[in-house]
Structure 1
Amino acid sequence: MARAAEDVKYRGRRRWNGSHGRVWWEGLLIFEISKYEAKVTADREDVLIGNSKDSKVVSLTGKGSMTVKCVINRNISRFLEAWKAGKDPRTTIVSLVDDPDAVDGQKERCSIDNVWLDEITLMAFEKGQVVEKEYPFGFTPEDASFVETIDA
């Protein structure tokens, strides 16, 4: 049973820890994920009211990126071959924060469909460093939803 907001005493341990975050790409857990972000930006146009400038949301843009410490090939060649053939493949990404110290053990999960890659790195490495690849992506905000949320 969720507690009323005034009954919850917040402590430092209630801050979410990204170490408990997970991402599924095309239904497969990316166990080597090191960083993930997905956000929606409101695209606005100016509206003049008298001498004041206001704004109006006219569309939404979904963008994100994930950084993966390379262990296995993530089948990026499939995207490359599709692009070379003039196709624009789409995928689904599900992300989860499952911090054991979250209020009442709750989780936050977001599902995004109609995800496209903006760029693919074919090869990148630096001597003496763990190989990482970043995957910037876009999506239609209407295809994003919270499946679970952490509430007070």
Structure 2
Amino acid sequence: MSQSTATRLTVSSPEAMRELGRQLGRVLLASDERAQCVALEGDLGAGKTTLVAGVLSAAGVEGPIRSPTYTLVEPYSVATHSIYHLDLYRLADPDELEPLGVRDLLVPGAILLIEWPSRAGTRLPPVDLRVEIAYLEPATAGREVSLSAGTPRGVDILAEMLR
């Protein structure tokens, strides 16, 4: 039986989005062989940062989580991993990514959670898992979350999440 490379889910509330993030976080935290990269796409307010808050919650990070819109990168060190939350919304040009030192973050045990990855053009590392969040109509009905694997590790992440 082959493993799925994509799936779609309906998420009904911010708490359900956080729980999806916690589920993703548990899978990401189970591996520290190499850096893992998750790209988060969606309109403003769609729930990208809420999903990241769930990932961080799975890692034991407490307190409010805000998108690093102005700092661009927010690091979190937990027991076995370094988690980096990147928000590239303010990048005017993909060349602005280089001074952020993203390549230096790609060490075993690192987890990169990248909002607005399209702003980086082709300058990002290979994306293991792409998460696209779309509003359902009416917006109060929740969100559709599409998960797609971009690497063999991404296929494994999806398989673990769908168990």
With normalisation by structure 1, the TM-score equals 0.26
Indicate the structure whose relative CO is greater, using CA pairs within 8 Å and at least 6 residues apart. 2
Which is richer in helix?
Answer: 2
Which is richer in strand?
Answer: 1
- Looking at CA atoms only, which structure, 1 or 2, has the larger radius of gyration? 1
